Amino acid sequence: MSVSFAAQLNSVLAALILLTAFGLLAQRRIYGLLHLFAWQGVFLSISTAVVGYVAGQQHLYISSILTLAIKVIVLPYILHILIIRLQIHKEVETVINIPTTMLIGIALVIFSYHLTSPIRELSTLVTRSTISVALATVMLGLLMMITRKHAVTQIIGFLAMENGLFFAATSATYGMPLVVELGVALDILIAAFIFGIFFFHIRTTFESLDVEQMARLKEED
């Protein structure tokens, strides 16, 4: 595989990661969100392996396998079990309607490209063209957290934002040290279990995971 072909492949994978980020914003079904999040993990894992090949960084292959295992298999499985146990079947409501959210997302992508243009010009890395996509993915994940009413979908937005941060680290510096990546992976797993415990307690106390309803109950108190 030539360096130029690997760079083009990485750009295609970056576009797919950004596409799944927009898909998360547009999707209202909870299982659809899980599938899109898993696909985003697949694209991120392949991209990490491609960068590892181009840069000659062996630890990125381990990061790719970890990403595939945790973000494509383990986390979606944990969230799937939570959805079943919490009996979440209805469509997830949003604070802002989908078309407006998508327009805001497009504006964030344009802002990301404008903000990272000096970095792209100065960088000599093969992955310099994907830095703006990584920043846009982070912002779209944050936007999803803000615009969703349901606690579970906000967590998916948080995990999608973390995907963007990992992608940004890979694009900007060819990845973090392996020890740091292992620590982050462990933290994400622990956070997923803690979120699950909190969700069960919240559901038992408030009989709902709708953030708006919980805020309304707090105001009444």
Q: What is the pLDDT of residues 171-206, one digit of tens each?
A: 777 666 655 566 666 666 666 666 666 665 555 555
Q: Is the pLDDT of residue 50 over 50?
A: yes
Q: Is the pLDDT of residue 105 over 50?
A: yes
pLDDT greater at residue 77 or residue 1:
77
* Tokens encoding 156: 């998916």
Give the CA radius of gyration of the chain: 18
Helices (H), the chain: 3-26, 30-55, 59-67, 75-85, 98-122, 131-147, 151-173, 178-206, 211-220
Each residue's pLDDT tens digit, 20-43 = 999 998 888 888 888 999 999 999
- Residue 132 CB: number of other CB atoms within 10 A? 24
- At 51, is the secondary structure helix, strand, or coil? helix
- Give the domain ranges of the chain: 3-220
Whole-model pTM? 0.80
In which band, very low, low, confident or very high, does the pLDDT at 18 lie, cut at 50, 70 and 90? very high
What is residue 74's predicted lDDT score, i.e. its pLDDT?
86
